[in-house]
Amino acid sequence: MRHVLVAGGAGFIGSNFVHYLFGKETPPSRITVLDKLTYAGNRSNLAKWENDPGFCFIQGDIRDPKASGEALQGVDAVVNFAAETHVDRSIYGATDFINTDVLGTYILMEEARKNGIKRFLQVSTDEVYGSIEQGSANEEAPLNPSSPYAASKAGGDLIALAYHKTHGLDVVITRCTNNYGPYQYPEKLIPLFITNALTERSLPLYGDGGNVRDWIYVEDHCRAIDLVLEKGESGGIYNVGGGQERNNVQVTHGILDLLEKPKSLITPVKDRPAHDRRYAVDDKKIRAMGFKPSVTFEEGLAKTCHWYQEHRDWWLRIRERDSEFKRFYELHYNNRETS
Ligand code: NAD
Ligand code: TYD
């Protein structure tokens, strides 16, 4: 089977994807991970494979042509997860987002072209479509990003499509909804609220808590990526939905109920600027290929709460010993309460 390069493979979805690939009946012959190990990357997520002869970890930046070029040697297919990913961080400053999500995507893709890589899957997001108040966005919907994060991801998508059209690079793009599950750095809604609740801290709910996201369990997303990698049409874009829309109040109540913590932990805070009200994708195209998410939100949330309860060391190391976590938490949440 193939040699797959997983860029950004030490992050949340990337590390789950590596576990998913190795767990397949016929795993790839080799998996190389190229990851810069930013604040969000964690090599220990991949500890299980460190001594596996089919695994290779390279610490490096996708913006560095030399690191990217070297990582691509002997590779058949690339899956690019590497990105700056937190909307709130992109509001304070977008330089790293544009550098990695746009420029980095370009450099990795250019190196892939030079090295004759057979297939390049760019992992994108439904956030490129912007807020969808009603109905759902299909793959032809206009790009209408609201945050610098989403705009950077849209830039990466456009570079990928241009490389397909101009250079004939075999590119596929997936645009998935919100993921949750094990190994998610505790800054996004679900892991932040679980770990805050487990340490009796307040849960900072933005605005009226009525914003809606369509949640997908990370393993289902990994399966969708693998399907598109194997069977997607060159140049094709594939939306991936979870079919599990919930608003933030519902998600928060779900977490507190599972952890048996009081609702009084919920603290309304100032809303996020340009906060997208709702994300929803039309994912008929990938469903026609046989994909269907297998985990309901209630099952997935229970599994996720359980994982964080069982892996306290993993997230306490980040929350208590990582100065970057503390710096951003104070910057973003101090003095944000509205009542
Ligand atoms: P994450 O922040 O957990 O991980 C990102 C990884 O990329 C980290 O390991 C980091 O070290 C690495 N990285 C960052 N900059 C790099 C660079 N310049 N060179 C090499 N490595 C670099 O992110 P995630 O939530 O796992 O998201 C992965 C991908 O999936 C992203 O492209 C994101 O846009 C997309 N996505 C995420 C979601 C979600 O809900 N989390 C939904 C849809 C799409
Ligand atoms: P997030 O996990 O940051 O993902 P997205 O990229 O979809 O914004 O946020 C999910 C939802 O949760 C979004 O509507 C913003 C909201 N939210 C809060 O209410 N409080 C928080 O502290 C965070 C991080 C998010």
Residues 229 and 306 in one domain: no
Task: Exactly one of 149, 217, 308, 333 is catalytic; name it.
Answer: 149
| Mean pLDDT of the region 122-135 | 98
Residues 137 and 248 in one domain: no
Burial track 132-153 (b if 16+ CB lie within 10 A, e otherwise): beeebbebebeebbbbbbbbbb
The answer to whether the beta carbons of residues 35 and 9 sit under 8 Å apart is yes
Q: How far is the CA of 189 from the centre of ligand 2 (A)?
A: 5
Which CATH number belongs to the domain containing residue 255 in this structure? 3.90.25.10
Residue-number span of the structural domain to which 87 is assigned: 3-180+216-240
> Measured at the alpha carbon of residue 40, what is the angle toward residues 44 and 115, in degrees to the nearest 5?
85
pLDDT in the model for residue 310? 98
pLDDT in the model for residue 205? 98
Residue nearest to ligand 2 atom 12, measured at CA: 189
Q: 335 lies in a domain?
A: no
Taking CA atoms, 51 is separated from 8, 54, 72, 253, 285, in Å, by 19, 9, 20, 41, 39
**Residue 15 is inside which H or E element, if any?**
helix 12-22
Is 205 close to ligand 2, i.e. is its CB under 6 Å away?
Answer: yes
Q: 144 lies in a domain?
A: yes
Q: Is 1 a residue whose pLDDT tops 60? A: no
| Mean pLDDT of the region 150-164 | 98
Categorize the per-residue pLDDT at 338 as very low, low, confident or very high, splitting at 50, 70 and 90.
confident
Residues 257 and 150 in one domain: no
* Shortest-distance ligand to the CA of residue 179: 1
**DSSP string of 37-98, one letter each residue:** --TT--GGGGGGGTT-TTEEEEE--TT-HHHHHHHTTT-SEEEE--S---HHHHHH--HHHI
Q: Name 33's bridge partners.
A: 6, 57
pLDDT in the model for residue 50? 95
Rounded to 5 degrees, φ, ψ at 246 are -140, 145
Q: 25 lies in a domain?
A: yes
* Shortest-distance ligand to the CA of residue 13: 1
Is 87 close to ligand 2, i.e. is its CB under 6 Å away?
Answer: yes
> What is the rounded distance in angstroms from the CA atom of residue 273 to the CA atom of residue 4?
38
Q: 287 lies in a domain?
A: no
Q: 236 lies in a domain?
A: yes
pLDDT in the model for residue 75? 98
Amino acid at 244: Q
Order across the sheet with 237-240: list the strands. Answer: 55-59, 30-35, 3-7, 77-80, 119-125, 171-176, 237-240
- 3-state secondary structure (DSSP) of residue 225: helix
Residues 227 and 80 in one domain: yes
Residues 57 and 109 in one domain: yes
* Shortest-distance ligand to the CA of residue 220: 1
In tens, the pLDDT along 177-199 reads 999 999 999 999 999 999 999 99
Q: How far is the CA of 45 from the centre of ligand 2 (A)?
A: 23
Q: Among 54, 56, 108, 100, which residue's Cα sits nearest to residue 79?
A: 108
Mutate which of 13, 95, 178 for ligand 1 pocket (most atoms within 8 A of beta carbon): 13
Residues 84 and 202 in one domain: no
Residues 267 and 220 in one domain: no
Q: Does 149 participate in catalysis according to the annotation? A: yes
Mean of pLDDT over the chain: 97
Task: Exactly one of 61, 127, 219, 220 is catalytic; name it.
Answer: 127
> What is the rounded distance in angstroms from the CA atom of residue 233 to the CA atom of residue 238?
9
In tens, the pLDDT along 266-284 reads 999 999 999 999 999 999 9
Mutate which of 213, 215, 332 for ligand 2 pocket (most atoms within 8 A of beta carbon): 213
Categorize the per-residue pLDDT at 88 as very low, low, confident or very high, splitting at 50, 70 and 90.
very high
Q: How far is the CA of 6 from the centre of ligand 1 (A)?
A: 11
Q: Is 339 a residue whose pLDDT tops 80? A: no
The answer to whether the beta carbons of residues 141 and 129 sit under 8 Å apart is yes
Q: Is 308 a residue whose pLDDT tops 70? A: yes
Q: How far is the CA of 244 from the centre of ligand 2 (A)?
A: 16
Query: What is the total count of domains within the chain?
Result: 2
Task: Exactly one of 35, 84, 126, 214 is catalytic; name it.
Answer: 126
Q: Is 290 a residue whose pLDDT tops 90? A: yes
Ligand 1 pocket at CB < 6 A: 7-8, 10-14, 35-38, 40-41, 61-63, 81-85, 100, 104, 123, 125, 153, 176, 178-179, 185
Residues 28 and 55 in one domain: yes
Rounded to 5 degrees, φ, ψ at 141 are -60, 150
Categorize the per-residue pLDDT at 158 as very low, low, confident or very high, splitting at 50, 70 and 90.
very high
